Amino acid sequence: MANFLFGAAGFVLAMVALGLFCVLRGPSDTDRMLSAQLIGSGGVAVLLLVATVTENASIVDVALMLALLAVFAAVAFLRDASSAQIKPPNVADRA
Amino acid sequence: MTPPFILEIAFVILILAIAVGTLVARAAFTAVLLFMIYGLLIAIAWIRLSAVDVALTEAAIGGGLTGMLLLGAVARLRESEGSGEEPGLPTLLAAGTFCVLVSAALGTLVLSRPEVAPSLAPAVMDNLAQSALGNPVAAVLFVFRAFDTLLEKVVLLLALIGVWSLAPDRVWGGVPGLRLYAEPSSILVFLAQLLPPIGIMIGIYMFWTGASYPGGAFQGGTVLAAMWLLVMIARLQPVPAISLRCVRLLLVVGPVIFVAIGLLGFVFAGAFLAYPPDYAKPLIVIAEATLTLSIGVTLGLLVAGPPDRMQQP
Amino acid sequence: MTLTLNIFTIVAVSAGSFFFMAGTIGLLRFPDTMTRLHALTKVDNLGLGLIVFGLLPQAEGLLGALKLLCVWIFVQLSGAIVSQLVAQLARRDGEQR
């Protein structure tokens, strides 16, 4: 069971590596952000699997923290992307 | 070559690949995104090294707050024109030499470690019962090396004052220039109404569980800061002016209470930051609670940045 | 009993990992931001959800199982709202071009 769960964690990590490739490739910044979200979810899955294998419940806390901050990072990105849309960059505009 | 070992090797290669990717990424935004992912993987590495407290802090700060700070910086760079000069050859040589020296020093340290790592961990575990705490990290932070923790909190405040000093004189005491969501979005408002109560609960839980399990004031404070920033970005609460009395009060209440407890240690237990035996746990909890609040406000204001206007928009 | 639970864990975690793979490949191969968003939400819902369900029998006690469920519900909730925000952004982006 432990070996299987380790293997599953390794598989999800491989998916994370693939997601990294998406970050580098993604045609637009939004696509890169989507890949980052995928990597975040992958990270949560890996942490939950590791928590079960090592029987350490505090690792689930790390997964919770990661999920929370992943949302926060997404909002930070969206804030910048939305203001880039509304106000096209214009140096003269800055008060 | 057991499966866990192969997994670890693959993981290390992945971390190195991301680090290299951060350096060679063409766009600043991609580099920042890769840096945040790097923070996530390092957090997983910390867990593998049995440092769950550090993993919590890495996930919170490296992934969340530093990421937001850097994303804001990238957005500002996009809007303003840089000076456009490339660094000259002497600057590049100096930077390169410095990096090589640091890497060589680190490499020498890592490769020449002593047979038995000098560590105070056994001494900490032996005296853990005296500290009335179950988490050895919390015991080190608040009992054995409480003075260092106090100084760290003061350093955090000094860093905030340093950030504030970047403001031009005419807007000193004004409203930090935190970039808000460009236009009101009902979805974001929904998120900012749904998430903060959950986040605040998680933050308090992180602080409370730090006494016996990985966690603590800093991790809890980071979560509180993130929730506050979310509420401000969604325009549900205005960004406060830094001259407001309640802001400044919240910033200093943590360190002040900690210092007060330390001074009381002179009276009741004979030394600065010594705790009277039966009151150790309640005093530590009070200190940590106020520190959580102060750290939350400090980190939030650190990310909000220096003031750039006097009035609310 | 333990054998049945272990088999359930193995099946559920494998299915969850499969959906992880499907979502990642979707992210790689789909032509458009909106479609990639769709692939991503499958990862959050089904991938993570099946893995969490698979780990429930192995969790320590009721509280441990509840914590796992909380993590999954939280990721799902936040993922849903964030994908709405991204879709709003992407649609406006498409209209502007």
Write the pLDDT tens digit of every residue in B171-194. 888 888 888 887 778 888 999 999
Q: pLDDT tens digit string along A11-53?
A: 998 888 888 888 888 788 888 888 888 898 999 999 999 999 8
Contact across the interface for B191 and C74, Cβ inside 8 Å: no
| Chain C nearest C-alpha distance from A94 (Å) | 23
Domain hosting residue C35, numbered range: 2-96
Contact across the interface for C36 and A8, Cβ inside 8 Å: no
Q: pLDDT tens digit string along B1-42?
A: 676 788 788 889 999 999 998 888 888 888 898 999 999 899
Q: pLDDT tens digit string along C39-78?
A: 888 777 889 999 999 999 888 788 888 989 989 888 888 8
Asked if residue B81 has pLDDT above 80, the reply is no
d(CA B160, CA B296): 12
**Rounded (5°) CA angle B46-B50-B51:** 55
Which residues from chain B sit within 8 angstroms of residue C78, using beta carbons? 191, 195
Long-range interactions of C94-97: CB distance < 8 A, separation 24+: C96/A85
Asked if residue B53 has pLDDT above 80, the reply is yes
Instruction: Tally the domains of chain A.
Output: 1
Chain B interface disruption, residue of A34, A61, A78, A86, most B CBs within 10 A: A61
Q: Which two tokens stand for residue B108?
A: 């020498």
| Chain B nearest C-alpha distance from A75 (Å) | 8
Is A21 within a domain?
yes
- What is the crossing angle of helices B3-24 and A2-25, to 10°? 10
- Report ipTM for this prediction: 0.88
Is A31 within a domain?
yes
Contact across the interface for B202 and A68, Cβ inside 8 Å: yes
Nearest Cα residue in chain A from C89: A82
d(CA B47, CA C82): 28
CA A20 to chain centre: 10
Chain A interface disruption, residue of B22, B26, B30, B37, most A CBs within 10 A: B37
Considering only CB atoms, B60 lies closest to which of A59, A65, A87, namely: A65
**Residues 170-229 of chain B whose Cβ lies under 8 A from any Cβ of chain C:** 185, 187-188, 190-191, 194-195, 198
| H or E element at residue B175 | strand B175-176
Nearest Cα residue in chain C from B191: C81
Contact across the interface for B185 and C85, Cβ inside 8 Å: yes
d(CA B122, CA B140): 12
- What Å distances lie between residue B164 and B147, B255, B308, C86, CA to CA? 26, 19, 10, 33
Instruction: Tally the domains of chain C.
Output: 1
Domain hosting residue A41, numbered range: 2-88
Is A26 within a domain?
yes
- What is the crossing angle of helices B146-164 and B245-269, to 10°? 160
Eight-class DSSP state of A93: G
Nearest Cα residue in chain C from B198: C74
Write down the pTM of the prediction.
Answer: 0.89
Is A95 within a domain?
no
d(CA A26, CA A22): 5
Is A38 within a domain?
yes
Quick one: pLDDT at residue A90? Answer: 44
Asked if residue B312 has pLDDT above 80, the reply is no
| H or E element at residue B176 | strand B175-176
| Chain C nearest C-alpha distance from B138 (Å) | 23
| Pair B235, B200: CB distance under 8 Å | no
**Range B295-311 average pLDDT:** 89
Q: Which of B122-131, B138-147, C66-75 has the lowest mean pLDDT?
A: B122-131
